[in-house]
Structure 1
């Protein structure tokens, strides 16, 4: 072990490992996440289950706590969890596959740095699926430091079905991911801020996508 410099910057972790979700009903949540992420259960019992969809041993854990209360959107805490796709085509394919299972987004928005779709799970936890719009992290950071992004850090809404048609017609991904400049946008009118808690179904699918 190298001598530790206690006065310098704290050594950052190599990556974010996993998220643990607390729920009063684990079965609907497990079914939802298996579909939503194309995930599999690595291990589990009646109290907790561990899921993965990539090379990590688990990315999501679902912990059943029967007496925990319903989600309250007006309390401080985590707002959403985000998952990245490599291409716009991949993002839209996953959208179509989820839609076939009755899972549809609650908000689709081009933020500028990303093209994003937001969903919610049976407990009302918000999930983002996204694709980077720019080629490098440096380009994304430069855009986020621009006057255009400062004026409107929210973005502009889009229709995923329209995006699919344009992509299938041969329009380049690079052009489809460009965010039009619409000027300022009211932060208080973001759909996620006033989102109702979803009704559960036995399948774990969220009714009407909300």
Structure 2
């Protein structure tokens, strides 16, 4: 059956997934190498100004493009705040953190937002990247938390030490226990270096 292309609707048909992100740069080779390392990605195609990288079943998840005249990023202008990459488990998130650290890629900000446990980074151009794992068993449980008084009081989250979390995981603490956000009361937007 063919869709009724002329029928008015209350909302647009949603996409089935987010396919990829393209980053414009004036630092091409450094950015390609960073994202290869950061994501454990493979370069599918590359020429002098364009590279397509993937780390999963998609033919490309991240593209790096070097367009003539590209200026350095200005962190105080409108634009994309960050991209986020999800891990299935807290153990995988922390393993990737430790592997990045071994490659000299240091985190910017580890925080338990409530719905997710996240570790943020900056790429060589200054773009922020979030790596995360879901803290709840279902999207409905996460949504319920986001509608709670705790989230209303602090939608930013509670900072944590990844090394301490690794130690606790190695000592037998459960992922469920470690992913429960510690409530610290009201918190504003942090200033990140």
TM-score, length basis structure 2: 0.96
Q: Give the deviation of 1:66 after TM superposition.
A: 4.1
Q: Secondary structure at the match of 1:191?
A: coil
The equivalent of 2:157 in structure 1 is 155
Q: CA deviation at 1:47?
A: 1.2
Secondary structure of the structure 2 residue equivalent to 1:28:
helix
Residue number in structure 2 paired with 1:39:
41
Structure 1 segments (4+ residues) deviating >4 Å: none
Measure the CA separation in 2 of the matches of 1:191 and 1:115: 19
Q: Is the 8 A contact 1:25 1:66 kept in 2?
A: no
Aligned counterparts, 1:79-98, within 5 A: 79-98=81-100
Q: 1:2 is matched with which residue?
A: 3
Q: Which has the higher contact order (CA 8 A, sep 6+)?
A: 1
Show the 5 A alignment for 1:187-206: 187=189, 190-192=190-192, 195=193
Q: How does 1:1-210 map to 2 (within 5 A)?
A: 1-4=2-5, 5-187=7-189, 190-192=190-192, 195=193
CA contact (8 A) 1:38 1:53 kept: yes
Structure 1 unaligned blocks of 5 or more: 196-210
8 A Cα contact 1:25 1:64, kept in partner: yes
Q: What TM-score results when the alignment is normalised by the length of structure 1?
A: 0.89
SS at match of 1:108: strand
- Taking the aligned partners of 2:85 and 2:104, their CA distance within structure 1 comes to 19
Asked if 2 retains the 8 angstrom alpha-carbon contact of 1:23 and 1:66, the reply is: no
Q: Quick check: 1:51–1:59 contact (8 Å CA) kept in 2?
A: yes
How many residue pairs are counted as aligned between the two chains?
191
Ranges in structure 2 where 5+ consecutive residues have no aligned partner: none
Distance 1:159 1:102 in 2: 17
Q: Secondary structure at the match of 2:167?
A: helix
Does the residue aligned with 1:81 lie in a helix, a strand or coil? strand
